[in-house]
Amino acid sequence: MNPLTAALVQQSNNADVKHNFAKSIKGIKEAAQKGAKLVVLQELHHSLYFCQTEDVSQFDLAETIPGPSTNTLGELAKNLNIVIVASLFEKRAAGLYHNTAVVIDADGSIAGKYRKMHIPDDPGFYEKFYFTPGDMGFEPIQTQVGKLGVLVCWDQWFPEAARLMAMAGAEILIYPTAIGWDPNDDEAEQKRQLDAWVISQRAHAVANGVPVISCNRTGHEADPSEQSKGILFWGNSFMTGSQGEILAHANESEEEILIAELDLTRSEQVRRIWPYLRDRRIDHYADLLKLYRD
């Protein structure tokens, strides 16, 4: 399908998971009305970003895949004839949970899923308490609109993840995300962080010759423990072409449905003039398997 009309739903959340999910569904429907055939939702779009604290009661938010959310999204995808990328807190078994992106194909079936591989553990982002690292590797998911390389948030900082998805045939890199500022950060630091985030993902597009979709949340979410000032999610969701060019860019503080046309055939032309895959020196990359070269 080329060009592919893609959309993402940037939204703010509150403690009412039904309200948040209804907002996501409304955004999906609006995107489809505008012609989108692929719609991406932000990381953990059902709830507040609960990883600001370590609280065992938050495991009650998790659900199975398949489960209630994928059933609802499956019906929606089939009725609208679109592909949906959703981010869920997956309950795999008692005591075993993942941060999982699930891809719903246009016929309503589950095309595949990706379990977040890189799990942060930083002040305000205590994800290792909640999420077991993924065990499915970096495998693109085939859908009716193309082969999708779905990754999640912290994965977006790792060039290895993007490269492995591209090497396996991903036609688009997709990042559901929940990232923001510490409200104590000054304006200069906020700009540095945001610039680094955008640059790193645009670089994945350039280095691999594929479009990128990055869907972040927006709004301030308080720290339930009151030990910090919470997180100010910085929005700025965007889509790029296969040379890293910005095709659409949301603002930092407003809910927004972003639409762009992705030219998937350009990737081959770009790779012909910038043949990074051809010139990779895999015979000298063995040290990449080390954590660090002492």
Name the DSSP class of 259: E
**Residues 11/255, Cβ–Cβ less than 8 Å:** yes
- Residue 125 bridge partners (DSSP): 122
Q: Is 29 assigned a catalytic role?
A: no
Among 153, 171, 215, 256, the one annotated catalytic: 153
H/E segment holding residue 189: helix 187-208
Alpha-carbon distance of 130 to 228, in angstroms, equals 20
Which candidate, 35, 13, 32, places its Cα nearest to that of 22?
13
Among 43, 127, 221, 256, the one annotated catalytic: 43
Take residue 185 and report the two structure tokens written for it. Answer: 């950060």
């040290």: which residue's tokens? 287
Torsion angle (degrees, nearest 10) of CA 113, 114, 115, 116: -150
**Residues 6/37, Cβ–Cβ less than 8 Å:** yes
Alpha-carbon distance of 5 to 261, in angstroms, equals 4
Q: Is 43 assigned a catalytic role?
A: yes
Alpha-carbon distance of 119 to 111, in angstroms, equals 24
**Residues 138/117, Cβ–Cβ less than 8 Å:** yes
Among 90, 113, 116, 127, the one annotated catalytic: 116
Alpha-carbon distance of 78 to 70, in angstroms, equals 12
Q: Is 153 assigned a catalytic role?
A: yes
H/E segment holding residue 114: strand 110-115
Residue positions annotated with a catalytic role: 43, 116, 153
